[in-house]
């Protein structure tokens, strides 16, 4: 069964394929279509609201069952920011890598005076699966708890992964193997719930 993952982020596509394809699903990205589709406006004020908008929008546009996620980093010491604005937190950068670098630098700046014990944070991933007619058939939410490190470390992730330290693992998310990250991450947790629905 084909499932469209509503993302142009190659890192997300790799993560989702690693979890769903062993279960017998073929995961395709937006780049599988010759047409360029206008990205649905993500103007909801929650992760799940934005995931729903993307899933419904792309499912209707492509006529393919669509899985969409909205993910972000929630940092307790700065009132839950960057939250739903995680990807564009700093508001600068031409490329994805430049935006990631700027976002990480801004986060470190905002947390400069915050002691280690107050740097708690979590990644949140809301996922939504929609049929081509726009009907939502499954939703899930996963979280991944950690703290914000004082400097980036690791190269196996993207976004805020180099700053997201996982105390019980003793490494940042970007220092984990792909297998360990998939078994612990917010996206992995949300995906496993969706996979159970798909397998019924």
CATH of the domain at 91: 3.90.950.10
Query: Residue 92: phi, psi to the nearest 5?
Result: -135, 165
**pLDDT for position 182:** 80
**pLDDT for position 76:** 98
Average pLDDT score over residue span 52-71? 93
Residue pair 114/30 in contact by the 8 Å Cβ criterion: no
Unique residue bearing structure tokens 């801004």: 106
Q: Reply yes or no on whether the pLDDT at 55 is more than 90.
A: yes
Better-scored residue on pLDDT, 41 or 172: 172
**pLDDT for position 117:** 95
Residue pair 150/132 in contact by the 8 Å Cβ criterion: no
**pLDDT for position 42:** 81
Better-scored residue on pLDDT, 24 or 110: 110
Number of domains present in the structure of the chain: 1
**pLDDT for position 85:** 94
Active site residue: 69, 70, 100, 161, which one? 70
pLDDT tens for 136-190 read 999 999 999 999 999 999 998 889 999 999 999 999 999 999 888 888 889 888 9
> CA 112 to CA 24: how far, in whole Å?
46
Active site residue 70: yes
Question: What does pLDDT average to over the chain?
Answer: 91
Give the Cβ contact number of residue 30 at 10 Å.
20
Q: What is the DSSP letter of 37?
A: P
Domain that holds residue 132: 2-199
Lowest mean pLDDT among 23-32, 50-59, 159-168: 23-32
């Amino acid at each position: 069964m084909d499932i469209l993952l509503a993302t142009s982020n190659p890192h997300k596509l790799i993560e989702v394929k690693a979890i769903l394809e062993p279960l017998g699903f073929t995961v395709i990205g937006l780049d599988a279509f010759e047409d360029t589709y206008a990205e649905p406006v993500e103007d909801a004020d929650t992760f799940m609201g934005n995931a729903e908008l993307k899933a419904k929008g792309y499912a209707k546009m492509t006529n393919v069952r669509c899985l969409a996620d909205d993910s972000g980093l929630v940092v307790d010491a700065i009132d839950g920011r960057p939250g739903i604005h995680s990807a564009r937190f700093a508001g600068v950068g031409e490329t994805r890598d430049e935006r990631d670098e700027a976002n990480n630098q801004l986060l470190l700046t905002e947390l400069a005076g915050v002691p280690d014990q107050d740097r708690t944070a979590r990644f949140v991933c809301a996922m939504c699966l929609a049929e081509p007619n726009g009907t939502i058939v499954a939703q899930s939410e996963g979280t991944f708890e950690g703290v914000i490190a004082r400097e980036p470390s690791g190269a196996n992730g993207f976004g805020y992964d180099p700053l997201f330290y996982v105390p019980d693992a003793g490494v940042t998310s970007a220092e984990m193997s792909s297998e360990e990250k998939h078994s612990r991450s917010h996206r992995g947790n949300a995906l496993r719930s969706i996979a159970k629905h798909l397998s019924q």
